[in-house]
Amino acid sequence: INAEYMGTIKMSNLISHLEKFEVNFQNKDAPKGMHPDIICLGHKLRNNQITGTNARCFAILITLRKIIEEYRGSPETINKNISVLLDEVRAYLRTARKLGSGVESYLDNLKLSIFNSNRDIGLGLTKKLSDDIGDFIDQKIRKADDLIIKNGLELINDDDVILTFGRSYVVERLLRECKKKFHLIIVDNPPYYEGRQMALRLARQIPITYTCISGVAYFMRKVQKVFLGASSMLSNGALISRVGTAMISCIAHMYRKPVLVFCETYKFSEKTQLDSLSENELADPQALLEPGDKTTAINLRYDLTPRNYINMVITETGLIPPTSIPVMLRELTRIQGTN
């Protein structure tokens, strides 16, 4: 048995607990009675037509709100019916993509709200839930991003050289709205090359250097700050973000460059994770290979950056060190409990 084969077996054992990427998702039959908008959304998530944690969260909640508003069932069983609907929608969308800790947490809270609602509210429950979803989108995403950008603008100085990785919506918007003169280095990574979209959107306004992740060590010595987006911040201060983020942060730490993570508090998670393999999401392995290539590929979507590689987390509540994430989680839980 050759060493390459044994190496493949060992690597397969490391990720055997992760849900396998289903190649034939396009031909998969949706559950009977599933709303066509949810089926359409599932295919868009699967095909990477909607990328980024905020964009996926926004799309899921907007679609869910529309379905709840269209509910025309019996007022006597509305609480049970909508609760079952939420479970079915969540289960189907999970087969397309991991929903993310922020969406999962909010959907749990939405179910709790249904459970605690007065059984006599009838069809008024649909308006209550619709308003709740609208408030979450407005407060936790739109206004949160406005405040994060306001805080982030104070961190950019004239003639700064800023490095970012991939494409983060809030980082892109921050850089677009900044009126100071600075140089931007965009680091990108196959197979999705999300950074190209950011480069195309910002090239007319900002001087940009575009490079693949293999060249990041060369450019890091010229950088003053590293700006990163987040999929989630864990309770131990670790960052979950697109694969390659940990490498960028490690090299920045080696060169003693400040790493600043821009993250809305709804993405804060009670979970603790010490590595990138205990929990992750597998993407299409063929996306990493040339046509006809028979190599066994593993395409992880995320990696974990330890908190000692992160200098500051910029949130809508202000700038906090990653060691303060548990304190923020306790405070957010307390506020939620009083509402």
Q: Are 156 and 227 in contact (CB under 8 A)?
A: no
Query: Residue 114: enclosing H or E segment and its boundaries?
Result: helix 101-116
Beta-strand runs (E) in 56-133? none
pLDDT of amino acid 288 = 87
What three-state secondary structure class fits 34? coil
pLDDT of amino acid 34 = 86
Length of the chain: 339
User: Residue 160's closest CA among 194, 198, 218, 207?
Assistant: 207
Q: Are 285 and 12 in contact (CB under 8 A)?
A: no
Whether residue 191 is preceded by a cis peptide bond, meaning omega within 30 degrees of 0, is yes
Please give the radius of gyration of the chain, using alpha carbons only, rounded to the nearest integer. 21
Angle between helices 53-69 and 78-96 (to 10 degrees): 150
pLDDT of amino acid 3 = 44
Q: Are 174 and 152 in contact (CB under 8 A)?
A: yes
**Which two structure tokens, joined as six digits, stand for 67?**
């379905």
pLDDT of amino acid 74 = 75
Number of other CB atoms surrounding residue 136 within 10 Å: 18
User: Residue 147's closest CA among 286, 263, 270?
Assistant: 263
Q: What is the pTM of this model?
A: 0.89
Q: How far apart are CA 33 and CA 6, in angstroms?
A: 46
Each of the 339 residues of the chain gets a pLDDT tens digit; together they read: 444 443 454 556 778 888 888 777 765 667 788 889 999 999 999 888 998 999 999 999 999 999 998 888 777 778 888 888 899 999 999 988 998 899 999 999 998 888 887 765 666 888 899 999 999 999 999 999 999 999 999 999 999 999 999 999 999 999 999 999 999 999 999 898 999 999 999 999 999 999 999 999 999 999 999 999 999 999 999 999 999 999 999 999 999 999 999 999 999 999 999 999 889 998 888 888 888 787 778 889 999 999 999 999 999 999 999 999 999 988 888 777 666
**Which two structure tokens, joined as six digits, stand for 134?**
């609208």
Please identify which residue in the block is written with the tokens 């992740």: 213
225-229 and 160-165 strand pairing: parallel
Q: Are 253 and 259 in contact (CB under 8 A)?
A: yes
pLDDT of amino acid 322 = 95
What three-state secondary structure class fits 231? coil
Number of other CB atoms surrounding residue 139 within 10 Å: 12
pLDDT of amino acid 6 = 39
pLDDT of amino acid 182 = 96
**Which two structure tokens, joined as six digits, stand for 45?**
């998530």
**Which two structure tokens, joined as six digits, stand for 106?**
């909010």
Residue 244 neighbours by CB under 8 Å, 6+ apart = 165, 166, 187, 189, 213, 303
**Which two structure tokens, joined as six digits, stand for 42?**
């599932």
Half-sphere exposure for 237 (CA within 13 Å, toward CB): 15
Number of other CB atoms surrounding residue 153 within 10 Å: 14
